Every structure is written in structure tokens, then in C-alpha cells.
Structure 1
Amino acid sequence: MPFTHTVRGERFVFADLRELLARANEPKSGDALAGLAAGSERERVAAKCALADVPLRQLVGEPVVDPDTDDVSRLVLDSLDHKAFARIRSLTVGEFREFLLSDATTGDTLRELKWGITPEAAAAVAKLMGNKELVYAAAKVRNVTRCRNTLGQRGVFGVRVQPNHPTDDLAGILVSALDGLAYGCGDAVIGVNPATDSVETVGAILRLLDRLITELGAPTQACCLAHITTQLAALERGAPVDLLFQSVAGTQAANASFGVTLAMLKEGRERVLASHRARPVTWAGDQVMYFETGQGSALSAEAHHGVDQLTLEARAQAVARAFDPFLVNTVVGFIGPEYLADERQITRAGLEDHFVGKLLGLPMGVDVCYTNHADADQNSADNLLLLLAAAGCNYVMGVPCADDVMLNYQSTSYHDAATVRDLFGLAPAPEFRDWLEANGITRAGKLTSAERPALLGTAAKVLAATNSDERYA
């Protein structure tokens, strides 16, 4: 059934929900590249007005991708909590927006509803919100998760230490990781993107990070962000896996382009949980998955089925939600300007992705980043970083000098994260905060100017063990 709306005497017709959702989206270069974007601001306004009148039950009843041919659509329908959905099913998208922004709607209310909110509903309501409203609504929700430590509480702002190295040099990774720890970062995860997706490399990195965490007694977790099959092969050979990582997308075909299926994710999670039970580690909880998403991934794989970037991002987050993750983050500007062209689009997408993820119940972080050929700079990143801190973002990236020398893109630095914590009165994960205080890295929550001989001594010890112990060779 088509949707229509008239703006100043001009009548606009939208053929179906997919087209309506796409035309109502804020400007994205990827939607324009796919031929899905509104042709004018007047058409965009007409689409938003028409979308505001769509009942949420219609978004459930008319999937944007056929569930008979797409397992993500089937997952969304099968996982819908009909009792929770009954509380909002009669609302239109516009009324849902008012509900979310109401003072009477609390974070507890939204957590109770999360399995009754479909990704399409979350994406639709985001399209009707301004940036300030995305920040305000997201800030209500705190999604807390537990692995070796606890993340997501109100007042906690986590940081992933991202010590990538262009040749996977273990000494270089170690030094960058220690640099981040000295700035009080690393409570979310010490996570390395390997330059080489080989079982040997991934195993060596995981063993290095595990030894570093063990020697320091640091209450955090490690991850090597290789393909899921490579990580599981390393696990099979005895490598310690705290978090199992995988990039995911919003359609079955897009996930296939990543070489992953829902069944693989389920099996991988079960294998890592089993390995945790056999390790002499005290776990705060059993959330063992780490997912990355990002607007544009399905389009870049030519697997978008005529659906806009934001709606597909929400569906990717629904995939992540099904596996009870410890961490999820959107790499918001990483895919490139063909999908998010400039500061305005990157900022908007970051706030959208964070809001939608929070609404779906996810522990959302954001990689506040851009590629060097995008129309953005570090001031752009600063702006989004501050907005996300106000929105209650679970964590961001900590990259040496904000410049990833392996992935060749720009992100946020260790000192950026430390500044935001200080500015907003935020703290690391509680277990990690206590460790920082006990080791003199912070005092009363403030970074100290003391030398870090213990960290340097640990570096030498870990590196010597890495070079001499054949298990770490």
C-alpha cells in the first residue's frame, strides 16, 4: 500500500515502507549512491510526516526484507516479545517518539520494552528525532554487561585500548597497550585488529595480551579482532579467548559477504563459554561476544535489498542483540565518504547508531572515526565524542595519538578519553578504577604525573616471556 503526503501543494507518493523509510532518512551519501535518498528537502519532510502516522504494528507486519529468504528478518520476528510489544503496538511512530521523550518514560521502562522493539521501529523513530533528542533519549538508558569486569553503569565511560601494529609486531603492540593503560584506558577491552588474519598471529596476540593482563592483575578483557573462524581455530590450539569478535550486518546476504552465519555465531559463543569454565579466571559474568556494525556495510556488499543505511544498521544491531554481547560498537566513519560523506553525516550517524542500539538493549560504544579522504577532521571527532559522552555512550576507542597506523584512519586518543572523563565527571569500570587507584595511575579519580616503573617492568617481563616461552612464539 502506498503512502502519501502533501507539502505546500506538492503531493508525494511512497510505494512501500522501504521507500518511505529511506526517503525519511537524514542525508547520507550511501543512500544517495543506492538511489534511495529523498530528491529534495521537501520530499524528506513529506516522508517524515507520512512515517509519523505509521503504526508500529505495521512495521512488524510488513518486513522490509522477506523473512522467508532472509534469516535476519526471521530472527527479528522470532525474537519479538509479544507481551512487551503489546504495550506499544497501537502507537504510531510519531507517538512512539513522544513516548520516548516523555519525562514519565524512564530507563527502566525502556529496558523492560527492549525485546518488544523491532529494529525497524527503532530506526523509524530515530528518523523523526533531532540530534539533541537522540542524545536525550539515549542518555536515559544504561545497559550493563559483565565479562572480567562490569561496564555500562551510569557515570561509567569505558575505553577500548586499540594498540594495532602494521606488522603485528608484539613489542609494538605491547608498548601501545601499556601507553593506553597509563592513561587509565583499557577497561572496555584491550583489542587488537591484526594485520594478518592467520591462526598463528592471532594466537600469539591473544597469548601476549593474556600474559599482560595476568602480570598486571588488571581487571579487563582481551580480544583479537580477526575473523570468527580464525579466533576459534586459535582457541582450539589453546589460545585464551576472553571475547569472541565478529563484524555483522543487517541482511543474510551481507553477513554471508563477511563469511559468517547466525549458526556460526551461536556455536562460537557456546565454545568460548565452555572455554571460560575451564580457565582459572574469576569472571564477573558470562557475556563473551564483541560485535562491530556500521552504516553502509550492506550496501558496500550489494546486499541491501533496497533498504536504507540506518534501517540496516538497526537490523545488524538486532543480530548482535540475539547473542547477549559484552560489547557492541559502530565504526561510524570507517567505511568511507561514499556512505557518510562529511562531518554532518558522520555525527548524525553516530548519534543514530548509539540511540538505536541503546533502545534495543545493547551495550553501545562508538568508534568516533573518519577516513582521510572524508570531509572531516579531529574537531569533527571532538564534537561527536562530547555529544556521545552526554548521551551515556558505554565506551569509545583509545588509539595512540588518534591515528591508527595499521588501519589508516583517524579515531580518538587515550588523552581524548581521559579529558572527556574529567570534563563530565565520568569514571572507568569500577573494578578497573580500583586497580588504577591501587597502582598509583590515578589518585581520587585523577591521572597522576608519577612515573610508571611497574608498567615498564611488566612490559620487559612479558616481552621476555613472549620471546623465550615457546607457547608464546
Structure 2
Amino acid sequence: MPLYYSAAARQETCRFDGLAAVLAAASPERSGDQLAGIAAGSALERVAARRVLMDLPLTAFLNDPLIPYETDEVTRLILDGHDRAAFAPVAAMTVGGFRDWLLSPAADTAALAALAPGLTPEMVAAVSKLMRNQDLIRVARKVRVVTAFRNTIGGQGVLASRLQPNHPADDPRGIAVAVLDGLLQGAGDAVIGINPASDNLANCHALLVALDEMRQALEIPTQTCVLTHVTNALTLLERGAPVDLIFQSVAGSQAANDGFGITLSMLAEAHQAGQEAGRGTVGQNVMYFETGQGSALSADAHHGVDQQTMEARAQGVARAYAPLLVNTVVGFIGPEYLFDGKQIIRAGLEDHFCGKLLGLPMGVDVCYTNHVEADQDDMDTLSTLLAQAGVSFVIAVPGADDVMLGYQSLAFEDIAYLREITGLTPAPEFARWLEGFGLAGGILPDAGAMARRLGLPA
């Protein structure tokens, strides 16, 4: 159904051909939406779309799916799983009214936790488009999503980190050195996770064993992961490999997930298999999902929906499987989707806000590729804002430069900086372990003891 906004003073009328068009035009400027031909054509059109959006009832997103229910299993997952009882407190609100409520004292931590199952991805994407950056931060920091495996992520006052020791040749000793470097700077409580240079099963099995041996040698209360395809993880579990977390990149439409080689039934099978393995000690959240704005567009599977709303739908997929960790790789895909530092910063705050409102343990890979108009100062800005917004975890690599994937992220010392300026701490079990190696309270760390346990030169 067409929607209209009339700017009487300028004698102009903007027409939007349905909800998807309104959402796309209301989005902040984004190169991906421009590439798709769905972005607002002017600032006036963007403001007009936001005026239309603020008056739309939240129920519109239940009654008028952006991607047809009959042809898309992600839409079916979202609508069939919608909790109408949880939705009831905001069911009579418009998108603009919902924004005002979120910013009010009534939307406290308990209220937002109770509401999460009643929100759809499209609702949270819509309200984010009416918010300034500070609004995204103010609301997200009120949300707490706690998950657990060998330690507890997402609690009050906690900032966790993924230690990413990627190596261009998957060399175990090179990986071990990177792990040691990260641990000495307090990184690795969310997960020690490798993107393998080679995805064959034998190599992934060897990396899993190496990571697990390091974890056991140092008695680290954390989890490990080799970020291979979910079908590989299932095979490795069947072969008895030490699989802690099952990883998968997910997208916001069935067609885009087809491009990843996955179905929702496949994810359900993996979730069950991971739980049956029973490797967690303080919890059994076994899934790790990664998303990123632009993935559906790059697969020509966005159905005319803007990339930020598609990202929220990907988060809706992740929510169904009770993950330990979810993160957006916010600047990884390239300038075709997020052109510069300003767009990356905005997208990172949006993704974090939407994920938290949906009830996800939301992290961010604060990153960019070298052909984007961004630099490490932009990453400092985004990471600092996310720490204030209550991000569950961020990702760090040696020297902020991933030599295997060829992109820029955060460095291990950036995690220490974020904790220093905010007073945040690692996951509690991990923090106690760090104290045993003198990595808390300003005491000189016992690097030699760690190195000897890993069989490295002290």
C-alpha cells in the first residue's frame, strides 16, 4: 500500500510504495542502499520517510511482512516465534511512541528483558531509524543479556573480548604466540576463535585440538572455536573433536542463507548436537553467530529491503538458537556497503542496539578494510562508544592487523584501554584466572609461566 507525506511549505509530496520503501528511505545515508537503488533521493525525502515511519503502528510489521511468509523461512521463523503476550505492553504504540517509551525511565532493564520476545527485527530496525547515536547508546546500555559456557558473558560491569589469533598458514606455534600475547593483555574471555586459512576437516580438527590443549594447559576458563562451516562442525563433533562453540554466519533471508549453504533446520540440528556434547561447565549456550550489513545485498537476496533491516532479520535468526555470542563484523565487507568511518560508526551502534533489544548477547568486530574511507581513529571512536553502550564483547587481533583476513580490527591493548576508561572488567571467572597470573592490580604478569606451559621459549 502506498504511503505519502506532503511538505506543504515546499508544495512537494513524497510517495513510498509500502513499508520496505519507507524503511529504506528513512535510513541514514548508506552506500549499500544507494547501490541497491532504494535509498532516499534527498534529505527532504529522508525526513519525509521518518515522519511517515513515526506514525506507523508497530503492528504494521506483523500484518505486512517485508518478505512474503509463504516463500521465506526467515519470515516464518520471525512471525511464528512472535510472543504476543510479551508484546502486549507496547502493542498499541506507533514507532515514534515506542521510541519515546524506550528513552523513558519506564523502559528499565527488567522491562526491556521481558519485552524482547515480543519484538520483531523489523520493529527494532524501524525505531532505530528515528534515533540519534546518543539515543542508540542510552537505550542499549540499559539491556543486559547474560549467557554462559565456561564463563559468564554479559553481566553488569563486564566487557569481554574475543581473542582472534589468525595465522596465514594456520601454524600452531604462531597461533600459540598470538594467544599468549592476547592473554597477557587480558583478552580471550568471550572466546579464543580462529578463522582457519584452510577449511578442510583435517586442518580444522588439528586447530581445535591445539586450542583445547592450550586451554587445558593454562586452565583457562574460556571457550575455543574454529570458525568453520556448521556442517563441518557437526562432522567434527561426530568424530569426537573438542568442539566448544558451533559457529555460523547467518543472513536475513532464506535466499541469502542459501548462499551461505545453510537452512534453519541445519542450525537447529547443530544447536542440539552442541548441547548434547555437554562441554560447558557453567552454562550450555553453544552457538556463535556472525552477521554483517550488506551480506544479503551482496548475494542479491535482499528483496528490496534496506541493509540495516536485513541485518536485524539476521539477528532474528540468531535469536532462535540461544547463542553464547553474536557479533556484527561491521566494516568488513567494504565501501560498497559502508562507505566511510561515519557510516561504520552509525552501523555499529545500530547493530548493537537492535541486537540487544532482541535479547542477544551482542558483540561487534570494530573493523574496516583498507579501501574504506576510515582509519584507526574511527575505530577508537566506535569502540569507546560501544563500551559506553554496554557491548557484550569486542574482537581483538595482534597489532590491530589481521594478516590472514587482510583487514583492520582492534588490538589487544585496546581491550585494556576500554576497561581502564570505563571500569569494566573481564568475565568474572576469567578475571579470577587472570589474577592468578598477576594480570590484575598492576602486578607484573607471569609471562614466563604461561610460555612454559605452552611449550614456548620463556
User: What TM-score does the superposition give when structure 2 sets the normalisation length?
Assistant: 0.98
User: What secondary structure sits across from 1:87 in the alignment?
Assistant: helix
Establish whether residue 109 from structure 1 lines up as the match of residue 111 from structure 2: yes
Alignment of 1:43-122 (within 5 A): 43-122=45-124
CA contact (8 A) 1:200 1:234 kept: no
Equivalent in 133, 144, 147 of residue 145 of structure 1: 147
Residue type at the aligned position of 1:68: E
User: What secondary structure sits across from 1:186 in the alignment?
Assistant: coil
> Which segment drifts farther, 360-369 or 235-244?
235-244
Structure 2 residue aligned with 1:468: none
Equivalent in 27, 30, 42 of residue 29 of structure 2: 27
Residue type at the aligned position of 1:267: E
User: What is the CA distance between 1:404 and its match in structure 2?
Assistant: 0.2
> Unaligned regions of 5+ residues in structure 2, if any?
none
Alignment of 1:143-292 (within 5 A): 143-276=145-278, 283-292=281-290
Establish whether residue 407 from structure 1 lines up as the match of residue 397 from structure 2: no
User: What is the CA distance between 1:148 and its match in structure 2?
Assistant: 0.8
> Unaligned regions of 5+ residues in structure 1, if any?
464-473
- The verdict on how the C-alpha distance between 1:217 and 1:41 changes in structure 2, with shifts beyond 3 A counting, is same
Residue type at the aligned position of 1:97: R
User: What is the CA distance between 1:451 and its match in structure 2?
Assistant: 4.4
User: What secondary structure sits across from 2:187 in the alignment?
Assistant: coil
CA contact (8 A) 1:304 1:312 kept: yes
Find runs of 4+ consecutive structure 1 residues off by over 6 angstroms: none
User: What secondary structure sits across from 2:363 in the alignment?
Assistant: strand
User: What is the CA distance between 1:449 and its match in structure 2?
Assistant: 3.2
Whole-angstrom CA distance in 1 between matches of 2:343 and 2:270: 35
User: What secondary structure sits across from 1:56 in the alignment?
Assistant: coil
User: What is the CA distance between 1:142 and its match in structure 2?
Assistant: 0.8
CA contact (8 A) 2:437 2:445 kept: no
User: What is the CA distance between 1:29 and its match in structure 2?
Assistant: 0.3
Residue type at the aligned position of 1:269: H
After superposition, give the CA deviation of every residue in 1:7-39 in whole Å (9 maximum; x if it has no partner). Answer: 343210101001011000011100000001000
Structure 1 residue aligned with 2:334: 336
User: What secondary structure sits across from 1:108 in the alignment?
Assistant: helix
CA contact (8 A) 2:102 2:139 kept: yes
> Which segment drifts farther, 78-87 or 298-307?
78-87
Structure 2 residue aligned with 1:4: 4
Whole-angstrom CA distance in 1 between matches of 2:230 and 2:154: 25
Alignment of 1:358-377 (within 5 A): 358-377=356-375
CA contact (8 A) 2:340 2:373 kept: yes
Residue type at the aligned position of 2:187: C
Structure 2 residue aligned with 1:456: 451
User: What is the CA distance between 1:166 and its match in structure 2?
Assistant: 0.6
After superposition, give the CA deviation of every residue in 1:53-83 in whole Å (9 maximum; x if it has no partner). Answer: 0000111110000010000000000110011
After superposition, give the CA deviation of every residue in 1:235-262 in whole Å (9 maximum; x if it has no partner). Answer: 2222111100000000000001000110
Residue type at the aligned position of 1:345: Q
User: What TM-score does the superposition give when structure 1 sets the normalisation length?
Assistant: 0.95
CA contact (8 A) 2:438 2:446 kept: no
Whole-angstrom CA distance in 1 between matches of 2:176 and 2:236: 20
CA contact (8 A) 1:175 1:459 kept: no
CA RMSD of aligned residues (A): 1.1
Equivalent in 319, 322, 331 of residue 321 of structure 1: 319
Residue type at the aligned position of 1:226: T
After superposition, give the CA deviation of every residue in 1:245-283 in whole Å (9 maximum; x if it has no partner). Answer: 00000000000100011000000111111112xx5xx61
User: What secondary structure sits across from 2:313 in the alignment?
Assistant: helix
User: What secondary structure sits across from 1:373 in the alignment?
Assistant: coil
User: What secondary structure sits across from 1:442 in the alignment?
Assistant: coil
CA contact (8 A) 1:123 1:356 kept: yes
After superposition, give the CA deviation of every residue in 1:262-306 in whole Å (9 maximum; x if it has no partner). Answer: 000000111111112xx5xx6111100000001000000000000
Residue type at the aligned position of 2:54: A
Aligned length, in residue pairs:
455
Residue type at the aligned position of 1:406: M
Identity of counterpart residues, as a percentage? Answer: 55
User: What secondary structure sits across from 2:24 in the alignment?
Assistant: helix
Whole-angstrom CA distance in 1 between matches of 2:310 and 2:384: 26
Residue type at the aligned position of 2:209: R
User: What secondary structure sits across from 1:159 in the alignment?
Assistant: strand
User: What is the CA distance between 1:104 and its match in structure 2?
Assistant: 2.0
